[in-house]
Structure 1
Amino acid sequence: MEEFVGKLWHNWVTKAAAGHYPEAAVKLLEVEKTAGILFRAFGGDPGLKVAAATAATHGARRKWLERLAGSGEKVAQARRDAQTLRLPPEIAAFPEKALNRDLYLWLAALAANDVAPELPWFLRNQRASRAALARYPGLRPRYERLVSAHLAERIEPAKLQPDEAAQEDAIRQALRDPATVASLPPLNTKKSRPPQPVLLWLIAAEESVAGSIADPGDNLPPEGSGSTEAEKEAHKAEQVEAPDNKAPVLAMFRAESLPTWAEYVRVNRAYDDDEDPNAKNAARDLDQLSLTRDAETAVSRVKFDLDLPSAAEDDTPIGPGLALPEWDYRKGLLLPRHCQLRPMIARDAGHAELPAALAATAKKLRGQFAALAPQRHWLKAQPDGSELDVDACVRNHADRASGHTPETGGYLAQARCERDLACLLLADLSMSTDAWISDSHRIVDVIRDSLLLFSEALSATGDRFGIYGFSSLRRQNIRFHLLKDFNGKYDAAARARILAIKPGFYTRMGAAIRQSASILYEQSAGRRLLLIITDGKPNDLDLYDSRYGIEDTRMAVYEARRLGLMPFCVTIDREAGSYLPYLFGPAGFCVIRKPEELPRRLPLLYAQLTRN
């Protein structure tokens, strides 16, 4: 009974405190996709991802009912940084659901016009608000309704201390008429509180040390995916020094507490280095995460060596290597000679026949693709040829009889129609391809079968094609494997090189695309297709494992299109919908949900892409 009455009291006093209306709440999950589209349509950075914001203690004064109910102490406010637009996971600030939804859309428009991050918080939001209202006048009625509703929920200036009241008056004036208040009055006493949160504005993004903490937005689900992961709040994070645990710890125990043989029970006992299955739930309950870099390995029982193989076991380098540029989106600059690409070819691969397991499928594909091979056909009304064109001769005789001069020839001639196209297939050979997708196949096995069947199919059409693979270990070691070049034939030696592929290291995709585009550009063909197979997004051990790699890959794709090439990506990554549209465009990629179908679908996809 006591618990029941306490619950009723809590619900009543929380509702009476105002500022929170659960029955009119709108979740970010409901408007995430709409807010993202609106943000980009209003000119926002297309590389930013929409995600949930952090609820933080604001320290401002609260109404006495809020203090009594213990509510309103924390609030999640919108902010944006270099990689993410963070919006509140839920908005229930107004009694009308439409107003709560409009607040999401207004914050997206405000963030799209937030182009002066160097300004103080007070001036920055005013300028962004004024720019949004000037560029999109249709937002003004919604904005004015939001301002009126928000001001009604704030504490009146008359109930605040003089210096706090001055700040509140300035904020109210800035909301009603943005960009008319030059500065926020200072607080005069130590007991003064900061202003109440302004829900219609963005807060300043916290600065972080570059490269020190992994961006939490890297593993976010796709926008509008409907995943419950999107409802989680991000954590406020700080980087701290690793604790010094070298001091000895003395533990007192009684020998009698040790189990005897009779008391021994065979159970699965965890090791100290085992992952805690409840760690995710524990982290979710924390308000702030403290992260540190420790020089020691997290799991001492398993050591992972990513050093390059010895020269005797490694593939053979072709030439001294190539220096390639890389796009730094932060500087807006193409860094010259920033990467080192090493062309390589399999050592002592020998010769090999097509695996027996693929023979039946290859025969079927060759029969299907033989129909695409160039065929001879008759050209009519030619000035010279091996046979007479009866129709043209009759038409010419009629023209002469009517007093006209014949304008066409009277012969039939045979001509061969050529498929004027070239295709370069670039395969991702990173370490993630070593993952198993079934009891008998890894991703790299599926890619290997795909390359073999693709080659068999294109050999039947006579189309010119080249096949390369890549992986990377930082920017100075990008491995570019030659499997079949445009000048070489698809023979037993090429099959052996394809069968010799193995998982490499990481996925520095931008440099590999640039080199592939350079090779493909040299081919004299009317249509040139750059086909990329991958199982994940760009990554490497350095800054490339962030938005840096996404932006560099996007720029490499853009450069390939400027050369007149047609880049197209085929992926088995189910989460690719969150980043591939930004890299290749909405029609520039294909997601294959079942990896085992890749060998069969890749040749058919090529036929669709090259269909006239």
Structure 2
Amino acid sequence: MEEWVGFKWHEYITRHAMGEFPEHAIQLKDEARTLGVLFRALGGDPALSLVVAEPRHFRTRRRFLQKLAGTHKKFELAWRDEQSLRLPDRLALFPSKHLNRDLYLWLAALAAQGECTEEDWLTGNQAMVQTLLGRWPGLEPVYQRLVRNSLQWRPDPTTLPDAESRREKAIRQALIHPGSVDTLPEADSDPWPVIIWLYPTMTPGKLTAQVIGDDNMSSKPGGLEKKRKRRRAERVDAFDKDQGLMLFRLESLFSWSEFIPVDRAGDDTEEEDADAVADDMDMISVSSDRRESSSAIKFDLDLPSEENDDLHLGPGIHLPEWDWRSQGYREKFCCLQPMLSKDSVPSPLPDHLSRSAMRLRRQFSALKPLRQWERRQIEGEELDLDACMEREVQHRRGIGEIDQKLFRRCKQNQRDLACLILADISMSTDTYINNNQRVIDITRDGLQLLSEALQASRDPFALFAFSSRRRDHIRFHHIKAFDEPYNDVSRGRIQALEPGYYTRMGAAIRQATRLLQGRHEHQKILLLLTDGKPNDLDLYEGRYGVEDTRMAVQEAHKAGLTPFCVTIDDDASEYLPYVFGSNNFVVIKDPVQLPLQLPKLYMNLPR
């Protein structure tokens, strides 16, 4: 009973202290597509993702009810950096859904003008507001409505001490008349947040290299990336396991934190609620102490010894890499190593694929080149009897000009097309999608069935696979070249593929582009099979990896190739439209169907 009364009391106090209108709340996930389109239409960087903003701490002057409820210490505010645009997860500040939606639209439009820093937060926001209203005067009524309602949400200057009152008046004047305030008067506490302005980029705490989550970038127009929070972090020597979760002190009743020993080196932890606890924590403490997980096995991804590794084909190929920060190439930055499986043995087609392969061979055999006779040629393999008889008739009738095209020749009607299939075999393909099948198993089956189909159509094709471990070791596995027959040797190499390492996708695409450029066919298709985003250990993650891959795809287009991506990644629609284009990729929702879907996709690609 006491617990129920306490819960209801807390619910009542919090609801009145928040000062929000939950019945008029607008969720970011519902407006994500519209906001993404608006942001890019007004000139925003198309590579930025739309992500939920993390709460910021403010040391503001709070009313008694807010102190009692423990609210208004953290605020979700809009900001952007070089990788993402971050907006509040939910808006319920105004007593109208229309106004709350307008606030989302305004923040997205303002963010399209740029970002602000700690030094120019006041003047920068005013300048961006002036620029936005100057370019798009139709937003003026929206801005005025938001200013009027946000001023009602702010504290009354007459109730504040002198210094804070002068500062609040300056902020109000900057909102009503943008560009009229150059400096902000100083005060002891933080100013009440300005909800219609952008804020500087949030920086991690002491441990800047440890960013919890948020390492993936979304580039889908209007897409909303999954909610990942960044938190301040600190490094500690070790956790004292003998100390309880909370020391009972009177001053700790309203503020306390706890240590949860989450094992970073393993995937599992004994704390079932570790995710929920971490979601509520503002400071993540990281320790190198391994006493709590001494029984766990820590795997290392170091490369195997040379005698246990696959065969290296040559010294390696140096390739450039695109650095989007400097907007230039790093010449000879990557080393791609062609490799050949040492453990592969010639193998027939697996029994479980025989029936599907037989059906595909029948379908694709209709695409085989057909022999056709071309009549009435000046030169040819044999005489065209009809043309000869017509000439004789013309000669006897005394017609002056006689047709000299008296031969016929046989021409093979070929499909002028070549395809290079590039498969991602990084460590993520070792994931099980059902009880007994891994992603790599499905990839192997897909390569085998597609190869059987292409063999029947007689289209020239090549097979390669790739993985990577940093820029100096990109593994490019040779399965079948264009000039090699597809036989049991190639089938054995496919079956010998094993997952490992990471996905430096840009270098693999560049090498595949070079191989395809050597073909004489009119249409050249680069078909990429993958299960996730480009990533590697040395900064090749997030926007860097996506931008390099996108540049490699653009290079392939300029070379006259047709790059196409087939993936089973559920989140692919967030970044693949930016990398490959909206019509040059497909997401297979059911990974088990990949082997059967690949030949169908290939048949439609030339169209």
Taking structure 1 as the reference length, the TM-score comes to 0.85
Q: What are the Cα deviations for residues 281-338 of structure 1, in whole angstroms up to 9, with x where unaligned?
A: 222333x032436274984322313222232222110110112122222222221122
Q: 1:294, 1:5 → 2: CA distance?
A: 40
Structure 1 residues 407 and 112, CA gap change in structure 2 (3 angstroms): farther
Q: 2:515, 2:10 → 1: CA distance?
A: 73
- In 2, are the aligned partners of 1:380 and 1:389 still within 8 Å (CA)? no
Alignment partner of 1:180 is 2:180: yes
Match of 2:539 in 1: 543
Match of 1:268 in 2: none
- In 2, are the aligned partners of 1:341 and 1:478 still within 8 Å (CA)? yes
Alignment partner of 1:213 is 2:207: no
Match of 1:53 in 2: 53
Match of 2:161 in 1: 161
Q: 2:171, 2:405 → 1: CA distance?
A: 86
Deviation (angstroms), 1:504: 2.0
Match of 1:559 in 2: 555
Q: Which amino acid aligns with 2:330?
A: L
1:522 paired residue among 518, 531, 535: 518
Alignment partner of 1:240 is 2:237: no
Deviation (angstroms), 1:142: 0.7
Deviation (angstroms), 1:409: 5.7
Q: 1:437, 1:594 → 2: CA distance?
A: 10
Match of 1:83 in 2: 83
Structure 1 runs not aligned, ≥5 long: 252-270
Match of 2:357 in 1: 362
Deviation (angstroms), 1:51: 2.1
Q: What are the Cα deviations for residues 495-533 of structure 1, in whole angstroms up to 9, with x where unaligned?
A: 222222111211111111111111111212211111001
2:312 paired residue among 304, 314, 317: 317
Q: Which amino acid aligns with 2:151?
A: L
Alignment partner of 1:289 is 2:283: yes
Deviation (angstroms), 1:41: 2.2
Structure 2 runs not aligned, ≥5 long: 245-265
2:494 paired residue among 491, 498, 507: 498
Deviation (angstroms), 1:222: 9.4
Structure 1 residues 275 and 226, CA gap change in structure 2 (3 angstroms): farther
Task: Note the 1:102-181 alignment, pairs <5 A.
Answer: 102-115=102-115, 117=117, 120-181=120-181
Q: 2:392, 2:283 → 1: CA distance?
A: 89
Match of 1:260 in 2: none
Deviation (angstroms), 1:162: 3.1
- In 1, are the aligned partners of 2:214 and 2:229 still within 8 Å (CA)? no
SS in 1 for 2:486: coil
- In 2, are the aligned partners of 1:557 and 1:583 still within 8 Å (CA)? yes
Match of 1:597 in 2: 593
Deviation (angstroms), 1:384: 5.7
- In 1, are the aligned partners of 2:217 and 2:543 still within 8 Å (CA)? no
Structure 1 residues 530 and 298, CA gap change in structure 2 (3 angstroms): farther
Deviation (angstroms), 1:544: 1.6
Q: Which amino acid aligns with 2:198?
A: L
Deviation (angstroms), 1:467: 0.6
Deviation (angstroms), 1:196: 1.3
Structure 1 residues 541 and 297, CA gap change in structure 2 (3 angstroms): farther
Match of 1:463 in 2: 459
Structure 1 residues 490 and 182, CA gap change in structure 2 (3 angstroms): same
- In 1, are the aligned partners of 2:419 and 2:526 still within 8 Å (CA)? yes
Structure 1 residues 475 and 219, CA gap change in structure 2 (3 angstroms): closer
Structure 1 residues 350 and 193, CA gap change in structure 2 (3 angstroms): closer
Deviation (angstroms), 1:553: 1.4
Match of 1:531 in 2: 527
Task: Note the 1:212-611 alignment, pairs <5 A.
Answer: 212-214=209-211, 216-218=213-215, 235=229, 237-244=231-238, 274-286=269-281, 288-292=282-286, 294=288, 296=290, 299-300=293-294, 301-347=296-342, 349-379=344-374, 382-383=377-378, 413-611=409-607
Structure 1 residues 296 and 181, CA gap change in structure 2 (3 angstroms): same
Q: 1:355, 1:429 → 2: CA distance?
A: 20
SS in 1 for 2:56: strand
Deviation (angstroms), 1:194: 2.5
Match of 2:261 in 1: none
Match of 1:257 in 2: none
Deviation (angstroms), 1:405: 7.6
Q: 2:558, 2:404 → 1: CA distance?
A: 41
Q: Percent identity?
A: 43
SS in 2 for 1:459: helix
Structure 1 residues 210 and 125, CA gap change in structure 2 (3 angstroms): farther
Q: Which amino acid aligns with 1:136?
A: W
SS in 1 for 2:599: helix
SS in 1 for 2:215: helix
Q: What are the Cα deviations for residues 100-158 of structure 1, in whole angstroms up to 9, with x where unaligned?
A: 11001111111111255485211221122222222222211111111111122222333
Q: What are the Cα deviations for residues 572-607 of structure 1, in whole angstroms up to 9, with x where unaligned?
A: 122222222222111111111222211111111111
Deviation (angstroms), 1:486: 1.3
Structure 1 residues 419 and 295, CA gap change in structure 2 (3 angstroms): farther
Q: Which amino acid aligns with 2:308?
A: E
Structure 1 residues 537 and 460, CA gap change in structure 2 (3 angstroms): same
Task: Note the 1:67-82 alignment, pairs <5 A.
Answer: 71-82=71-82
Deviation (angstroms), 1:369: 0.7
SS in 1 for 2:214: helix
Q: 2:534, 2:292 → 1: CA distance?
A: 25
Moved more, 514-523 or 33-42: 33-42
Deviation (angstroms), 1:478: 0.8
Deviation (angstroms), 1:201: 0.6
Deviation (angstroms), 1:351: 2.4
C-alpha RMSD of matched pairs (Å): 3.7
Moved more, 332-341 or 117-126: 117-126
